[in-house]
A = this chain, B = another copy of it.
Amino acid sequence: MKARVHIFLKPGVLDPQGQAVAHSLKHLGFDEVSDARQGKLIEIDLDTADAEEAQRRVDDMCKQLLANPVIENYDIELSA
């Protein structure tokens, strides 16, 4: 199965990349943009069919390598 991990900076942590995106979009005429945040997206192919097990293992991966829990939040989305 596939896991998609979305990693964002926690609210309150300065996000200069997101600010640059929001600023550039407004500059291009997209006036409806009020804010933007940039994060990381990691897609992982897993040799397992057990969704519960996959969720637990990907959570371990986030804690050990993919995310920095001090400044980042993450969520995991599994698909077959």
Given contacts A28-B64, A65-B28, A66-B21, contact A45 B34 (CB under 8 A): yes
- The size bracket of the interface on A is 20 to 34
| Contacts of A27-64 to chain B: CB distance below 8 A | 28, 30, 32-48, 57, 60-61, 64
Q: Is there an interface contact between A41 and B44, defined as CB atoms closer than 8 Å?
A: no
Copies of this chain present in the complex amount to 2
- Would B38 and A57 count as touching, CB distance under 8 A? no
A78 at the interface (CB under 8 A from B): no
Q: Known contacts A21-B66, A25-B61: does B33 contact A44 (CB below 8 Å)? A: yes
Interface residues of A (CB under 8 A from B): 4, 6-8, 18, 21-22, 24-25, 28, 30, 32-48, 57, 60-61, 64-66
